[in-house]
A and B are shown apart, each in its own frame.
Chain A
Amino acid sequence: MKWIASAVFAAVALWLPFFVGDFYINLASQIFIAAIFALSLNLLVGFGGMTSLGHASYLGVAAYVSALMTSRYGFGHGTAALISILGTVAMAAFFGVIALRATGLGFLMITLALSQVLWGLAYRMSDVTNGDNGITGLTRPAPFGISLDSAASFYWFALVVAIIAFVMMAIFVSSSFGSSLKGVRDQPRRMAALGFNPWMIRWITFVYAGFWGGVAGLLYVYYNKYIHPTSLSTTSSAEALLGVIAGGSGTLAGPAVGAAIVLLLKNYASAYVERWNMLLGVVFLFIVLVMPTGIVPGLQQLAARFRGRWS
């Protein structure tokens, strides 16, 4: 069943640019980026049981480093991307050591505080980051000489990266390490007694999630050709978290669906409602109060009930 859905999805996705205009193609690209970001966060939230409110740090830092390396220091995109990812992973390793001194709410607070400090830095270090003006005039890379400037070509690039990300995270989650991660989420004491090292498992996951957050950040800055401190804000982290929770943190695909919904909401709502932040807050309240396990599990439950009625 899952394979059929994936195959249909892949077919539709592949041929999309031939059927719709640039606006929708761009929207789809943004969805892929948001999906990768939400999936990376879900490694922490859903599979690791570690709720972070600072995940935007990795997206933002990767984006800023790439932007600076290419626009200010004249590096090529390939090198810039490498430095960017390495820097983001190093930062995740460092932040992980700090944040994992606590669990639960303490972990949440530390990730929030750390990401807020980064956000403040992005605003204040205007010599480096250009502060509130952001960094503009960026370019997209041309992997293997193929230009990504058209909507369709970037779309396919993002699609490929998204598929790779999804597959790699699926493998990660079903591997023995992934099972040990889920075990640590459910019964950390038991896992320790069985010989697993809970801290190391959590830390490695934290770094891996930061890696994919950085990948999302690179796609983000390539797509927008612009970076601004808001990408590092709590709102940015919160949107990803909302996507994870709305889509359902217990499944692999759920967060991708949730991220798509949040992005579509943001895009359409901003046409009618000026106050996206307020709407975001209301949606948070709604989802948590009404659909706490998320939309995908909710739909699965509905489907199960339907099947039950028909049999």
Chain B
Amino acid sequence: MTAPSSDLALEIIELNKAFGGLKVTQGVSLSIRPGERRLIIGPNGAGKTTLFNQISGDMRPNSGRIRLFDEDVTTLAPYQRAHRGLSRTYQIITLFAGDTLEHNVTLGLLGLLPSRWQMWRPLSSYRHLAEDARRTLDSVGLLHLADHPVSELAYGEKRRLELAMAMAQKPRVLLLDEPLAGLSDNERGTVKSLIASIPKEVTVVMIEHDMDTALDLAETVTLLNYGRVIVDGERDTVIADERTREVYLGA
């Protein structure tokens, strides 16, 4: 079965997922072009993070397909998708709290390298990894904290670090799960400009449940509710659509 080659970065076809009787994803289909900035919005419980979990491979859908740059990745494990250019941040901070910032980023860099299997040279001897890590930290303004443990970081700084780790792998598709959640106005500005500065070649898909905060970062918007795609299209069209108002006013 040769599917017609498409030029989509991420294609989701009729995705379905249910937990027992609870349907969390119902017939979701998305087409995301390379370099696009897509925002996925919806009230709490709409199934946004569950959708992300299926895209990243943390959850298996009951039916449907997921294609990453025309390759079917539906049955691939999360680490295999990472090797195909998929990167993701999480809603809850999942950094290595007891380790330094440099170590965190170094791990991020190591994940795609063959030397991650190597058992006889100390990690600290990989000088170029350390340099790359520091360079990455510098690009998000955290170099001065490179040798501090992550536990000492402020919440906003942790978010920036997460972003840095995701970007360090030079992904083709970046999934950001509520990157602005819980940030103060100041911190939000910093993180937003970081997201805005992501290279154009990288496809960015973002989840936010607060519509206003992330809108100016998005080109296209998908509105999810009860696991279904309600509206999908150019940002301004979706905002103007009365179904969008309904969902949010009703929520």
**Interface members, chain B 58-81 (any A CB < 8 Å):** 58, 77-79
**Complex CA–CA separation, A178 to B122 (angstroms):** 9
Q: Contacts A171-B119, A178-B119, A186-B98 given: A192-B82 contact, CB under 8 Å?
A: yes
Interface flags, A283-309, vs B, CB<8A=1, else 0 = 000000000000000000000000000
Asked if A191 is at the interface (CB within 8 A of a chain B CB), the reply is: yes
Interface flags, A133-175, vs B, CB<8A=1, else 0 = 0000000000000000000000000000000000000011011
- Asked if residues A176 and B123 are in contact (CB atoms below 8 Å), the reply is yes
Q: With a CB–CB cut-off of 8 A, which chain A residues contact B120?
A: 171-172, 175
Q: Which residue of A lies closest to B98 (CB)?
A: A186
Contact among B107, B117, B119 for A183, CB-based, below 8 A: B107
Asked if A70 is at the interface (CB within 8 A of a chain B CB), the reply is: no
* Sample of 5 further A-B pairs with CB below 8 A, known A174-B122, A176-B126, A190-B96: A175-B123, A177-B118, A179-B106, A192-B78, A195-B79
Asked if A115 is at the interface (CB within 8 A of a chain B CB), the reply is: no
Interface residues of A (CB under 8 A from B): 171-172, 174-180, 183, 186-187, 189-198
**Complex CA–CA separation, A195 to B170 (angstroms):** 12
The 3 A-B residue pairs with the shortest CB-CB distance, nearest first, are A195-B111, A194-B111, A195-B82
Interface flags, B121-153, vs A, CB<8A=1, else 0 = 111101000000000000000000000000000
**Interface members, chain B 91-105 (any A CB < 8 Å):** 94-98, 103
Contact among B107, B111, B118 for A175, CB-based, below 8 A: B118
**Complex CA–CA separation, A175 to B165 (angstroms):** 20
- Asked if residues B79 and A176 are in contact (CB atoms below 8 Å), the reply is no
Most chain A C-beta atoms within 10 Å of own C-beta, residue among B56, B58, B88, B107: B107
Q: With a CB–CB cut-off of 8 A, which chain A residues contact B244?
A: none
Q: With a CB–CB cut-off of 8 A, which chain B residues contact A172?
A: 119-120
Which size class do B's interface residues fall under?
Answer: 35 or more
**Complex CA–CA separation, A175 to B90 (angstroms):** 27
Q: With a CB–CB cut-off of 8 A, which chain A residues contact B231?
A: none
**Complex CA–CA separation, A180 to B116 (angstroms):** 7
- Asked if residues A187 and B94 are in contact (CB atoms below 8 Å), the reply is yes
- Asked if residues A190 and B95 are in contact (CB atoms below 8 Å), the reply is yes
- Asked if residues B119 and A177 are in contact (CB atoms below 8 Å), the reply is yes
**Complex CA–CA separation, A129 to B95 (angstroms):** 50
Min C-beta distance of A264 to chain B, whole Å: 32
Min C-beta distance of A220 to chain B, whole Å: 26
Q: With a CB–CB cut-off of 8 A, which chain B residues contact A187?
A: 94-96
Most chain A C-beta atoms within 10 Å of own C-beta, residue among B90, B94, B108, B116: B116
- Asked if residues A174 and B111 are in contact (CB atoms below 8 Å), the reply is no
Q: Contacts A183-B107, A189-B58 given: A194-B122 contact, CB under 8 Å?
A: no
Q: With a CB–CB cut-off of 8 A, which chain B residues contact A195?
A: 79, 82-83, 111-112, 116, 169
- Asked if residues B110 and A193 are in contact (CB atoms below 8 Å), the reply is no
Asked if B87 is at the interface (CB within 8 A of a chain A CB), the reply is: yes
Min C-beta distance of A40 to chain B, whole Å: 15
Q: With a CB–CB cut-off of 8 A, which chain A residues contact B169?
A: 194-195
Min C-beta distance of A171 to chain B, whole Å: 6
- Asked if residues B123 and A193 are in contact (CB atoms below 8 Å), the reply is no
**Complex CA–CA separation, A187 to B118 (angstroms):** 20
**Complex CA–CA separation, A191 to B82 (angstroms):** 10
**Complex CA–CA separation, A193 to B78 (angstroms):** 6
Q: List 18 A-B contacts (CB under 8 A).
A: A171-B120, A172-B119, A176-B110, A176-B115, A176-B117, A176-B126, A177-B117, A183-B96, A186-B96, A189-B90, A190-B96, A192-B82, A193-B56, A193-B90, A195-B82, A195-B83, A195-B116, A197-B77
Q: With a CB–CB cut-off of 8 A, which chain A residues contact B88?
A: 193
- Asked if residues A193 and B96 are in contact (CB atoms below 8 Å), the reply is no
Min C-beta distance of B159 to chain A, whole Å: 14
Most chain A C-beta atoms within 10 Å of own C-beta, residue among B98, B103, B110, B169: B110
Q: With a CB–CB cut-off of 8 A, which chain B residues contact A193?
A: 56, 58, 78-79, 82, 87-88, 90
Q: Contacts A176-B110, A183-B107, A197-B79 given: A190-B94 contact, CB under 8 Å?
A: yes
Q: With a CB–CB cut-off of 8 A, which chain B residues contact A178?
A: 119, 123
Q: With a CB–CB cut-off of 8 A, which chain A residues contact B110?
A: 176, 179-180, 194, 196
Contact among B58, B90, B94, B121 for A176, CB-based, below 8 A: B121
- Asked if residues A194 and B94 are in contact (CB atoms below 8 Å), the reply is no
- Asked if residues A196 and B111 are in contact (CB atoms below 8 Å), the reply is yes
**Complex CA–CA separation, A189 to B96 (angstroms):** 12
Min C-beta distance of B68 to chain A, whole Å: 14
- Asked if residues B122 and A171 are in contact (CB atoms below 8 Å), the reply is yes
**Complex CA–CA separation, A198 to B115 (angstroms):** 15
Min C-beta distance of B232 to chain A, whole Å: 26
Most chain B C-beta atoms within 10 Å of own C-beta, residue among A175, A178, A187: A175
**Complex CA–CA separation, A171 to B123 (angstroms):** 10
